[in-house]
Amino acid sequence: MNTLATKFIPAKLGYFLINLKLNIRGLYYSGKKHYCPLCSRSYRKFFPGGFDLPVIKEMNIIGAGRRKDIICPGCASTDRDRLIHTLLISKEYDFLPTDALLHIAPEPALYKWLKKSTNKLLNNYVQGVKYHEGFYYNSDVKLFDLMAIPFDNESFNLVICNHVLEHVEDDQKAMLEIFRILKPDGKGILQVPWSPILEKTYEDVSIKSSEERERNFGQFDHLRLYGQDYSERLKSNGFEVQIIEPLMLGFDENYLQSISINPKEVIFVVTKQV
């Protein structure tokens, strides 16, 4: 919904209209080619999405770029959402059930699935974002800055931060804040777009305009392009880092293909060892 619409349409009605649109669209595209585990329905097609920019191809940025078959017509989940969901339900790893989860800038489809899991897989599910924009976030999503998370030390067992750190002015401070609010042995899923051919993360505070950021970082609102040193940046802020490939999640290739996740997008899992 555009900004003008949000001025005249109440939030509850806006969410209702969006969900109605998705339900109708999902029925229209029903089929058997793709499966979405977040809305538990099958479809004849997923939609393309993402940006098609030269730097994404030049730097082989993983987790970015124009990609086909990534958006579910029924719940609008993306390949990134379904990748995180697959990790959360994997029997190879023990992410759920958990006591307290902080979900930063929650993706609507993943948020809805987790919300339904409260009291079953989660005791305390908290969501936070810096800005409320249109009808993208529910009113129960808290507003806060990732560089100053308003929770006590050791408040959460798990943090999901999926493609957010590249938007944050001081990502090192944000990493320290995530470390602070995690309980001992708590885990974080900290995904970012990154280039496997870039040795060191590229950032330049003098790059201000949307056009320059697109040219240099691959998206108009990105503040850096992470390189091979991303794991080391996480480790320098106290985390142990585990890199998980999709095929390590315990699902066969046919299933992973049916849910249309990016086989090249590894998952960065951090643990607070103290």
User: In the chain, what are the domain boundaries?
Assistant: 3-272
Q: How far apart are CA 211 and CA 192, in angstroms?
A: 20
Question: Does the pLDDT at position 34 exceed 50?
Answer: yes
Q: What's 141's DSSP letter?
A: S
pLDDT above 90: percentage of residues in the chain: 81
Per-residue pLDDT averaged across 152-158, rounded? 98
pLDDT of residue 141: 85
pLDDT at 27: 83
- Number of DSSP helices (H) and strands (E) in the chain, helices first: 9, 13
CATH topology of domain 3-272: Rossmann fold (3.40.50)
Closest to 89 in 3D by CA, of 121, 115, 111: 121
pTM confidence score? 0.91
DSSP string, 78-123: -HHHHHHHHHHH-TTS--SSEEEEEEES--HHHHHHHHHHBTTTEE
- Does 228 have pLDDT greater than 50? yes
Instruction: Supply the mean pLDDT for the chain.
Output: 91
